């Protein structure tokens, strides 16, 4: 029994080591943690990952838990006012890249893989966004212009929510209306899901802000907030609403409560203390670390078959093409380095990993869906790591070549004595 606790401790340490390694070498945490999980399970056989094992059986619970934590954290961190003030091109670039990625992936799935339209759109939505955890940290160390940093930060902040909400809605549409739903089915599904989720998220936020106003020094405040998140998700789901969207709205309103209060001229206590936010960061780190290791455990040698590798690489190429097209049309001319960094910043992360399990946990069977998403996740992170490494090498080479100063250029040659 004790070896399980050793593995838990080593996994947490691996999460810490992966973070440090990422800071020093830019090697993505996703690659390190998935590889560690792959070693524990399929390679060394330390953990039982057979189809009847406990690890495989708890997949729906683990995936849902990670989804809840990710959505709540995404809502809390999403500053709607900063995003509204950001460069309009940033918002436009993010949305257009996401939409074009979905369209190109859907077309590829229909004509290349023979999938139905909705299944292709679902894959496009799942892999259509970049990883906020990886990209934001990478961008800070690239030395690009502030405008480019703002652009990529906006994209990284927005796309987790875009991927999750779009994928969850597409799942509901597929369940409700089959593979090719009618407009009425789509409209009714979207309206009911959004209305119930937003209402419940709003009510939960008002309840929490009311508690904060009355009891500004709450003991175990974070635990109470987490309990509210779980109960909100469960109740919303039970009344045919979308629990994930409700949790996101709850986090969004709490994260922006004080600014919303100032806008409406209502003085509000901060509903999320600094300690609560710190706890949330720790919990998100814990969930992210264990989930990527867990995904590595679920990998098998079959996931690296020739067909899966080729299609996964093809999908990464399609995502790069979508990014290139939108970059050239929406952003126009950029400095060479800024353009290269913008292209390199396309690693997929926790949102894609969580959503890879969504169809099967919802009772929807799509051939090789999970394998392809994990392949794209792995290869996109490898591509981003290589891209940043090459850019860093170019910078070092440029530093070694010292430019001639103006004074040196203008200096007259000294006359030598004959």
171 in a domain, yes or no? yes
Q: Comparing C-alpha atoms, which of 248, 243, 247, 241 is closest to residue 192?
A: 241
- Per-residue tokens: 260: 């919303």
CA distance 218 to 220: 6
Q: What's the CA gap between 312 and 4, in Å, rounded?
A: 33
Query: Smallest Cα–Cα separation from 156: which of 171, 140, 169?
Result: 140
Rounded CA-CA distance 402/393 in Å is 16
Beta-carbon count within 10 A of 168 CB: 23
115-135 mean pLDDT: 87
Mean pLDDT over 152-181 rounds to 75
Reply yes or no on whether the pLDDT at 101 is more than 90.
yes
pLDDT at position 13: 93
Distance CA 220, CA 209 (A): 16
Domain that holds residue 190: 2-393
Whichever domain contains 145, its CATH number is 1.20.1530.20
Does the pLDDT value for residue 408 go beyond 70?
A: no
Kindly give the residue spans of alpha helices, DSSP state H, lying in 78-182: 80-85, 88-108, 117-126, 132-139, 146-177
pLDDT at 416 over 70: no
- pLDDT higher than 50, residue 258: yes
Determine, yes or no, domain membership for 380.
Answer: yes
Residues 171-200, mean pLDDT to the nearest whole number: 70
Output 326 or 388, whichever has higher pLDDT. Answer: 326
Q: Running DSSP on this structure, what letter comes out for residue 215?
A: -
What is the mean pLDDT of the segment spanning 164-172?
83
Distances (CA, A) of 135 to 74, 138, 159, 345: 15, 5, 11, 6
pLDDT bracket for residue 125 (50, 70, 90): very high
Q: Is residue 399 part of a domain?
A: no
Q: What confidence score (pLDDT) does residue 312 get? A: 92
- Across 166-170, 330-334, 410-414, the highest mean pLDDT is recorded for 166-170
Question: Which pLDDT value is given to residue 417?
Answer: 47
Nearest to 163 by CA among 332, 350, 336: 350
Contact 192, 240 (CB under 8 A): yes
In a domain, 417, yes or no: no
Lowest mean pLDDT segment, chosen from 80-94, 119-133, 174-188, 300-314: 174-188
Domain count, the chain: 1
Question: CA triplet 349, 335, 158: central angle to 5 degrees?
Answer: 30
Q: Name every residue whose Cβ is closer than 8 Å to that of residue 113 and which is 6 or more positions away in sequence.
A: 120, 311
Question: What per-residue confidence (pLDDT) applies to 137?
Answer: 64
- CA-nearest of 133, 129, 119, 123 to 98 is 129
Residue 149: band (very low, low, confident or very high) from pLDDT cuts 50, 70, 90: confident
pLDDT average, residue stretch 141-160: 74
Residue 131 is assigned to a structural domain of this protein? yes
What is the distance between the alpha carbons of residues 336 and 276, in angstroms, rounded to a whole number?
A: 42
Q: What is the pLDDT of residues 13-46, one digit of tens each?
A: 998 998 888 777 777 787 888 889 888 888 888 8
Whether the per-residue pLDDT at 233 is higher than 70: the answer is yes
Residue 410 resides in a domain:
no
What CA–CA distance (Å, rounded) separates 119 from 359? 9
In a domain, 297, yes or no: yes
Confidence tier at 175 by pLDDT (50, 70, 90): confident
Predicted pLDDT at 199: 92
Report yes or no: 137 and 383 within 8 Å, Cβ to Cβ.
Answer: no
**Average pLDDT, integer, range 310-327:** 92
- Residues comprising the chain, all counted: 418
Tokens of 57: 């059986």
Q: Does the residue 278 lie in any domain?
A: yes
């Amino acid at each position: 029994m004790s070896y399980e606790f050793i593995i838990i401790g080593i996994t947490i340490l691996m999460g810490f080591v992966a973070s440090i390694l990422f800071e020093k070498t830019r090697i993505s945490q996703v690659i390190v943690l998935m590889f560690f999980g792959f070693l524990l399970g399929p390679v060394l056989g330390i953990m039982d990952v057979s189809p009847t094992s406990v690890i495989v059986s708890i997949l729906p619970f683990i995936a849902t838990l990670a989804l809840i934590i990710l959505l709540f954290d995404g809502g809390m961190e999403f500053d709607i006012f900063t995003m509204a003030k950001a460069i309009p091109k940033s918002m436009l670039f993010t949305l257009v890249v996401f939409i074009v990625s979905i369209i190109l992936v859907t077309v590829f799935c229909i004509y290349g893989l023979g999938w139905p339209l909705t299944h292709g759109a679902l894959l496009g939505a799942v892999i259509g966004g970049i990883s906020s955890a990886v990209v934001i940290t990478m961008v800070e160390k690239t030395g690009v212009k502030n405008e480019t940093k703002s652009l990529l930060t906006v994209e990284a902040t927005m796309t987790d929510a875009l991927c999750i909400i779009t994928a969850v809605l597409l799942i509901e549409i597929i369940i409700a209306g089959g593979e090719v739903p009618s407009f009425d089915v789509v409209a009714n599904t979207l309206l009911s899901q959004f209305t119930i989720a937003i209402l419940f998220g709003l009510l939960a936020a008002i309840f929490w802000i009311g508690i904060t106003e009355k009891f500004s020094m709450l003991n175990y405040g974070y635990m109470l907030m987490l309990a509210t998140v779980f109960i909100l998700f469960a109740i919303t789901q039970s009344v045919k609403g979308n629990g994930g969207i409700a949790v996101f709205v709850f986090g969004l309103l709490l994260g922006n409560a004080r600014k919303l209060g100032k806008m409406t001229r209502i003085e509000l206590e901060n509903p999320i203390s600094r300690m609560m936010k710190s706890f949330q960061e720790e919990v998100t780190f814990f969930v992210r670390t264990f989930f990527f290791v867990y995904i590595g455990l679920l990998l098998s040698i079959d996931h690296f078959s020739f067909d899966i590798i080729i299609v996964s690489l093809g999908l990464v190429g399609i995502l790069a093409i979508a990014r290139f097209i939108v970059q050239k049309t929406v952003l126009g001319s950029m400095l060479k380095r800024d353009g290269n960094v913008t292209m390199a910043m396309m690693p997929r992360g926790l949102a894609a990993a969580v959503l890879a399990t969504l169809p099967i946990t919802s009772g929807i069977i799509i051939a090789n869906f999970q394998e392809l998403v994990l392949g794209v996740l792995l290869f996109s992170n490898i591509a981003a790591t290589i891209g940043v490494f090459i850019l860093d090498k170019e910078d070092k080479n440029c530093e070694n070549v010292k430019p001639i100063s103006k004074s040196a250029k203008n200096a007259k040659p000294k006359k030598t004595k004959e």
